[in-house]
């Protein structure tokens, strides 16, 4: 079912892909609730988008994340769609004498544990809705890793795997499960990335995603044209070339 007339939660909806998606979904008449960690950009997002609701939430704060669903559902009992978008991407160097494991820990906490915890808390509610959807956000790097970001790439591969299992388990329920796998998109996910000429402009990415979300049957995997290079690398027998292109 297309993403119209829904009540949608988007984590990390105060910046980048999450904010752009929140604005596009709001413009289509959905009710949209965003969460964000940075109070200033959350306030700016809400000020720029009358009708959008928002909550401050650091998804790595396990106590705050555990308390959030009850508050969310009390305010938005018609919630039927959850987009688990919040994420971070940092570099790691395993050739260094002292490897900084803090990066690995916060990347796994943000990109993997938080979506699992939030999905677990919200799925009983979603299953009780007549029509519901859960959307995970992986990456093209789930399919061909970027060696400079080993744990980031691994969390996205894990999200891809986890999403497939959820989809299978929930196949007899009202909840459809989708995976949005962006290619390199011009946001500030990494410093300066929004000015990288190789990145897909954010507006073009969102336009393509909205076409897919507007289909009568939204695909299991929400894949824009640019990400097929990575998504299909293995099945098209060009994995080594794709790995080399990403890791020059
Ligand atoms: N841009 C790309 O090239 C690309 C490619 C593939 C996949 N993705 C994925 O797309 C998603 C969005 O990334 P983006 O490109 O839009 O990056 P972004 O502009 O940096 O946005 C990331 C969002 O996640 C939120 N976030 C990060 N850590 C958080 C935490 N601990 N608690 C709560 N919110 C947190 C940020 O909130 P604050 O600003 O408040 O910290 C921000 O809203 C991520 O999952 C990313 O891995 C992006």
DSSP codes, 33-73: EEEES-HHHHHHHHHHSTT-EEEE--TT-HHHHHHHHHHHH
Total number of residues shown for the chain: 248
- Nearest atom in ligand 1 to 19's CA: 43
pLDDT surpassing 90 at residue 12 = yes
Average pLDDT on 180-204 reads: 98
Beta bridge partners of residue 176, listed in sequence order? 133
**Residue 2 lies inside a defined structural domain of this protein:** no
Radius of gyration in angstroms for the set of CA atoms belonging to the chain, rounded to a whole number: 17
- Nearest atom in ligand 1 to 152's CA: 47
**Residue 176 lies inside a defined structural domain of this protein:** yes
Q: Return the structure tokens found at 211.
A: 């076409």
**Residue 205 lies inside a defined structural domain of this protein:** yes
> What residues flank ligand 1, with Cβ below 6 Å?
12, 14-18, 36-38, 41, 57-60, 85-89, 110, 137, 139, 182, 184-185, 187-189
Domain enclosing residue 166, as ranges? 7-246
| 69-90 tens-digit pLDDT | 999 999 999 999 999 999 999 9
Question: For a substitution probing ligand 1, which of 12, 136, 223 has the most ligand atoms within 8 Å of its CB?
Answer: 12
Give the torsion sign (CA, 83, 88, 89, 93).
negative
**Residue 198 lies inside a defined structural domain of this protein:** yes
**Residue 234 lies inside a defined structural domain of this protein:** yes
- Rounded-to-integer distance, Cα 225 and Cα 74, Å: 39
**Residue 1 lies inside a defined structural domain of this protein:** no
| 27-59 tens-digit pLDDT | 999 999 999 999 999 999 999 999 999 999 999
**Residue 106 lies inside a defined structural domain of this protein:** yes
Q: Provide the pLDDT confidence category of residue 202 given band limits of 50, 70 and 90.
A: very high
pLDDT of residue 110: 98
pLDDT > 70: percent of the chain: 100
pLDDT of residue 209: 98
pLDDT surpassing 90 at residue 14 = yes
pLDDT of residue 180: 98
Alpha-carbon distances of 203 from 4, 97, 185, 235, rounded to whole Å: 19, 41, 9, 29
**Coil vs helix vs strand at 191:** coil
pLDDT of residue 47: 98
| 168-190 tens-digit pLDDT | 999 999 999 999 999 999 999 99
pLDDT of residue 1: 80
Q: Per the structure, how many domains does the chain have?
A: 1
Whether the CB-CB separation of 99 and 47 falls below 8 Å is answered with no
Residue nearest atom 33 of ligand 1, based on CA coordinates: 58
Domain holding 51: CATH number?
Answer: 3.40.50.720
Alpha-carbon distances of 102 from 56, 64, 148, 158, 183, rounded to whole Å: 23, 20, 16, 19, 26
**Residue 125 lies inside a defined structural domain of this protein:** yes
User: Which of 161, 178, 181 shows the shortest CA–CA distance to 227?
Assistant: 181
Enzyme catalytic residues: 152
The burial of 192, by beta-carbon neighbours within 10 Å (0-12 exposed, 13-18 middle, 19 or more buried), is given as exposed
Distance (Å) from CA 17 to ligand 1 centroid: 7
| 131-161 tens-digit pLDDT | 999 999 999 999 999 999 999 999 999 999 9
Per DSSP bridges, beta strands 175-180 and 31-36 are unpaired
pLDDT > 90: percent of the chain: 99
Distance (Å) from CA 202 to ligand 1 centroid: 13
Summary count for the chain: helices (H), strands (E): 9, 7
Distance (Å) from CA 104 to ligand 1 centroid: 16
């Amino acid at each position: 079912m297309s993403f119209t007339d829904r009540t949608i939660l988007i984590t990390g909806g105060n910046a980048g892909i999450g904010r752009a998606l929140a604005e596009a979904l709001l413009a289509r008449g959905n009710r949209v609730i965003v969460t964000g960690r940075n109070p200033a950009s959350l306030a700016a997002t809400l000020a720029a988008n009358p009708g959008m609701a928002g909550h401050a939430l650091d998804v790595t704060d396990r106590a705050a994340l555990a308390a959030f669903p009850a508050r969310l559902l009390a305010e938005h009992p018609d919630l039927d769609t959850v987009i688990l978008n919040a994420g971070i991407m940092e570099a790691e160097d395993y050739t260094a004498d002292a490897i900084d494991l803090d990066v690995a820990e916060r990347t796994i906490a943000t990109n993997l544990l938080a979506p699992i915890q939030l999905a677990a808390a919200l799925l009983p509610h979603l299953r009780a809705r007549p029509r519901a959807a859960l959307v995970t956000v992986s990456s093209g790097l789930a399919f061909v890793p970027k060696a400079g970001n080993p744990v980031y790439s691994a969390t996205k591969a894990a999200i891809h795997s986890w999403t497939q299992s959820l989809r299978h388990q929930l196949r007899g329920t009202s909840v459809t499960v989708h995976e949005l796998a962006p290619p390199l998109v011009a946001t500030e996910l990494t410093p300066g990335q929004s000015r990288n000429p190789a990145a897909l402009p954010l507006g073009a990415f969102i336009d393509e995603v909205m076409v897919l979300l507007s289909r009568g049957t939204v695909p299991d995997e929400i894949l824009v044209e640019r990400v097929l290079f990575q998504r299909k690398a293995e099945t098209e027998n060009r994995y080594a070339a794709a790995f080399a292109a990403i890791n020059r």
